[in-house]
Amino acid sequence: MFRDFGVDEVGLLLKGAQWTVLLSFIAFIGGSIVGLVVAAVRVVGPRSLNALATGYIQAVQGTPLLGQMFLFFFGFSIMGLEVSAWVAVSVSLILFSGAFLGDIWRGCIQAIPQTQWEASSCLGLGFFQQMRYVILPQALRIAIPPTVGFFVQIIKNTSLAAVVGFVELLRAGQMVTAATFKPFTVYLAVALIYFALCYPLSLWSRHLERKLNVAHSH
C-alpha cells in the first residue's frame, strides 16, 4: 500500500538535506585544509613534494568520484578494515575537494603578474609579507567565483553517497519514492531543495566579488 506524499515525507527529505549540508561542509573544510597545503607545495615547495602534489591532483581529477567512494568503502573491507559509509564518503569527498581546490588556488596565486612580486621585493618585503599584503589579497578576488562554484559542485556531488548507502537528500528521495510511488513529485521536491541550497551561494559569490572589487578600486 503506497502512502500519499505529505508532511512526513517532506520531513524525511529535509532531514536528508541536513546530512547533505553537513557532509558538504565537512568536505569543503577538510578539502580547504588539504587544498591550502597542495597549493603552497605547488607554488613554493621543493621539487619532490611538488611532483607528489601534482601526482595526487592528477590521480584524483583523472578518476571518477564514485570510483573513489567505492575504493574507500569496499577496498578497505577487502583488506579486513571495516569502514562505515560516513567515513568512506567523508574521506573521499575531502580528498576530491582538496585536489580541485588546491589546483584552483595554485592557479589564482600564479595568475598574479610577476611585476607584483618584483615591486613588493623592491619595497623590502620578505616572502611571507609579499604573500600576506600583496599576492594573497589579489589572488582572493580571483579565487572567490571558482571556489564558491566548486562548493556548489560539492553539494551536488554528495548525491553520489547514496550509492554506498549513505542517507543524504537523494537517497531520502529514493526512499520516499519507494514508499509513495510518486517519482515526479518527489524528485521535483528534491530538485527544489538542491536549488534552495545552491542558488544563494551563487548570489553570495557575486556579492563578495562586487564588494572586493569596490574595495580594491578605492
What is the model's pTM? Answer: 0.88
CA quadruple 117, 142, 159, 200: dihedral, nearest 10: 150
Secondary-structure percent of the chain, ordered helix, strand, coil, rounded to 5: 85, 0, 15
Question: Would you tell me how many other CB atoms lie within 10 Å of the CB of residue 176?
Answer: 26
pLDDT in the model for residue 61: 95
pLDDT in the model for residue 30: 97
pLDDT in the model for residue 164: 85
pLDDT tens-place string over residues 10-49? 999 999 999 999 999 999 999 999 999 999 999 988 999 9
Contact 160, 66 (CB under 8 A): yes
Q: Which domains does the chain have, with CATH numbers?
A: 7-217 (1.10.3720.10)
pLDDT in the model for residue 122: 87
pLDDT in the model for residue 174: 93
Contact 4, 180 (CB under 8 A): yes
- Residue 197 and residue 12: Cα distance in Å, rounded? 16
Q: Which residues of the chain have pLDDT under 70?
A: 1, 212-218
pLDDT in the model for residue 126: 83
pLDDT in the model for residue 1: 62
pLDDT in the model for residue 214: 54
The CA–CA distances, whole Å, from 215 to 141, 208, 209 equal: 11, 10, 10
What cell numbers appear for 42 in the block? 605547488
